[in-house]
Amino acid sequence: MARVLVVEDDPAIRAALLRSLAGAGHAVTSQPTGMAGLTEAVDEPPDVVVLDLGLPDVDGLTVLSMLRAVSSVPVVVATARDDEKEIVRALDLGADDYLVKPFGGDQLEARIRAVLRRAGHDAPPAPIIVGGLVVTPTSREVTLDGIPVELSRKEFDLLHLLAQRVGEVITKREILTEVWRQSYGGGDRTVDVHLSWLRRKLGETAAEPVYLHSVRGVGVRLVDPRGSQPGSVV
Partner 1 sequence: MLRARITWLAAALVAGVVISFVIPLCLLVRTMAEDRAVSATRSDAQSVAMIVAGVDDPASLPAVLAPTLNGRTTTTTVALPSGQVLGGAPLAGPAVTGGPAPAPAVFPEDSALLATVRADNRSVATTADDRFHVLIPVGIADGVAIVHSVTDMGQVTRGVYGSWSILATVGLLLVLGSVLVARQQSARISTPVVAMADVAHRLRSGDFEARATTTGPVEVVELGQALNQLADRIEDLLRLEREGAADLSHRLRTPVTALRLDTDQVEDPTVRARLRGHVEDLHRAIDSVVADARRPSREVMGGWCDARAVLADRAHHWGPLAEDQGRTTTVTGQTTTGAHPAYPPVLVGLAAQDLADLLDNLVDNVFAHTPEGTPIRLELQVIDARAVLRVEDGGEGSPDTVAFERGESGAGSTGLGLDIVRRLAADAGGSVRFEHAHLGGLAVIVSLPLVARAGRAG
**159 vs 198: CA distance, rounded Å:** 8
> Is the preceding peptide bond at 102 cis, omega within 30 degrees of 0?
yes
Element (H, E) at 28: strand 27-31
Q: Give the count of alpha carbons within 13 A of 48, CB side only.
A: 28
Nearer to partner 1, 73 or 99 (CB): 99
Evaluate whether 170 touches 221 at the Cβ level (below 8 Å). Answer: yes
Nearer to partner 1, 82 or 92 (CB): 82
Nearer to partner 1, 13 or 90 (CB): 13
CB of 56 to partner 1, least distance (A): 13
CB of 188 to partner 1, least distance (A): 8
Helices 11-23, 105-120: crossing angle, 10 deg rounding:
60
Nearer to partner 1, 18 or 129 (CB): 18
Evaluate whether 212 touches 169 at the Cβ level (below 8 Å). Answer: no
Q: Give the distance from CA 229 to its chain's centroid.
A: 26
CB of 144 to partner 1, least distance (A): 17
Footprint on this chain of partner 1 (rule: CB under 8 A): 10, 12-13, 15-17, 19-20, 23, 54, 78, 80-83, 100-106, 183-190, 192-193, 195-197, 199-200, 205-207
Nearer to partner 1, 81 or 140 (CB): 81
**37 vs 70: CA distance, rounded Å:** 13
**15 vs 34: CA distance, rounded Å:** 17
CB of 135 to partner 1, least distance (A): 20
CB of 221 to partner 1, least distance (A): 16
